Amino acid sequence: MKDEQKHIHLHQLSDQEPIKTGELSGISLKKDRRGFLRQGALAAMGVALGAKMVFAKNLPLGMIPVGLTPSDEVLNLPGKDAGLIVLNDKPINAETPADLLDDALTPNELFFVRNNGLPPENVDVNTWTLTIEGESASQKKTYTLAELKQKFAHHTYHLTLECGGNGRKEFNPPAKGNQWSTGAVGCASWTGVRLKDVLEDVGIRSNAVYVAYYGKDTHISGDPKKVVISRGVPVAKALEEENLIAWAMNGKDIPMLNGYPLRLVIGGYPASCSGKWLSKIVIRNQVHDGPKMTGQSYRVPCKPVAPGTQVEDKDMCIIESMPVKSLITFPKSGATIKKGQRLPIRGHAWTSATKISKVECSIDFGASWQSCELQPGNNRYAWQSFSTKLDFPTDGYYEVWARATDVDGNAQPMLLPGWNPRGYLNNACHRIAIKVVAG
């Protein structure tokens, strides 16, 4: 069985099906008179992992050890680092392995790509324009890129962008869409003009409800009349200080696949609200109804539902603030250390709240937690780096889990959060596998 097939099935299997899980993991289990035994399953998994699971008794029911999940295939992507994992090539969608996100700011060549259409060709920055209009705009204005840079003050913010479907591959039953693991996220230093300043220059009428964007990407069908994606945010969100109409990323031109030469950058909301190849902004007197705003796109059930439930469009609510989350970026999952060796841990945590208040790590499947050192963010919506050193009591297989809590008291769940049809908002604790071997 191919690795990708193995992974698709592994996360779907419950602890009540260890024989099937074992077969997919390449291990063999037997059935006794009482049925499938958890103890036998864990022992067999330990064989497959190459070491006993030291805290096996704490492994939650239905959870597959992260050390058994296969690696994704890594392909070359033009204009990006060869380490990015390509999930789709038309349109291009690629994520960054967790261990390549260790930098305080994500390098341009390592920033994930989430495209809905095809980037524009033959871009000329000298003729690029941005038009602001709409039912609730006091006037219509068009700015050249040069005029934007000349007329408005420049600002730089560290802002985290995360796809709303990051972590989708863990949902069961599976959700349709790109099967993102953990790498559809990045934090960069963005430079541009404040969206707020430009909107105020045009004028916003009192009946304004939403601010939405249009870009110059082309529909994958090639039909120039089809709009690829047009999403937006409530006016109050649009007027926050940190939102940018940006032309630079980490002090350089924005990569073509990430929106060159102009894009929106809106922290704290799904990255789909940060329109690329920006050419038009509309101020609406209603909730925006562009492509990817209606139906079930970027929406979750307004009330919790059982896994696999079919939810009507009217019962789905638009995703706004993204949940608190963290990512272990060092070491790479699967690392091996010697018994008695302390293991340094590094990573990042982010939230749509004002800031992260604490990050903790566990080596015993969440039975106990150790506090991490936490660095402040550069500004709101920037991720915050954390670090600690861990000791392991004996040799064997371990998992290191990370859990972040923000100042509003929101903490990551240890297990997969509420199921939803499109597989959005998975903010379960990040897990990496560690093997400790005798001297």
Q: Count of domains in the chain?
A: 3
Are 46 and 141 found together in one domain? no
By mean pLDDT, which of 26-40, 102-116, 376-390 is the weakest? 26-40
Instruction: Quickly state the pLDDT bin for 76 (edges 50, 70, 90).
Output: low
For residue 78, tell me if it sits in a domain: no
Q: Is the pLDDT of residue 242 over 60?
A: yes
For residue 358, what pLDDT is reported? 98
Is residue 220 domain-shared with residue 296, that is, in the same domain? yes
pLDDT at 8 over 90: no
What pLDDT sits at residue 24? 39
For residue 394, what is the domain's CATH number? 2.60.40.650
The boundaries of the domain holding residue 17 are 3-68
Determine, yes or no, domain membership for 76: no
Same-domain pairing of 48 and 118: no
User: CATH code at 117?
Assistant: 3.90.420.10
Judge whether residue 16 has pLDDT over 80. no
- In this predicted structure, the answer to whether residue 433 has a pLDDT above a threshold of 80 is yes
Indicate whether 248 and 340 sit together in one domain.
no
pLDDT tens-place string over residues 336-364: 999 999 999 999 999 999 999 999 999 99
Which of the four pLDDT bands, split at 50, 70 and 90, describes residue 65?
Answer: confident
C-alpha 251: how far from its chain's center? 23
Q: How confident is the model at residue 57 (pLDDT cuts 50, 70, 90)?
A: confident
CA distances from 372 to 60, 276, 360, 420 (A): 23, 36, 5, 31
Residue 155 and residue 218 in one domain: yes
d(CA 252, CA 345): 30
**Domain check: are 174 and 245 in the same one?**
yes
pLDDT band at 42 (very low <50, low <70, confident <90, very high): low
Q: Cβ contacts of residue 236 below 8 Å, gap of 6+?
A: none
Asked whether residue 220 falls in the same domain as residue 333, the answer is no
Shared domain check, 176 and 42: no
Give me the count of residues in the chain: 439
Instruction: Using alpha carbons, list the distances in angstroms from residue 72 to 114, 117, 182.
Output: 17, 24, 12
What is the 3-state composition of the chain as percent helix, strand, coil, each rounded to the nearest 5? Answer: 15, 30, 55
More confident residue, 248 or 40: 248
Which of 16, 45, 68 finishes a domain? 68
Q: Which two tokens stand for residue 314?
A: 């009217």
Of the chain, the percentage scoring pLDDT greater than 90 comes to 80
| Shared-domain flag, residues 339 and 258 | no
Buried b / exposed e over 109-125, threshold 16 CB at 10 Å, is: ebbbbbbbbbbbeeeee
Predicted confidence at residue 53, as pLDDT, reads: 82
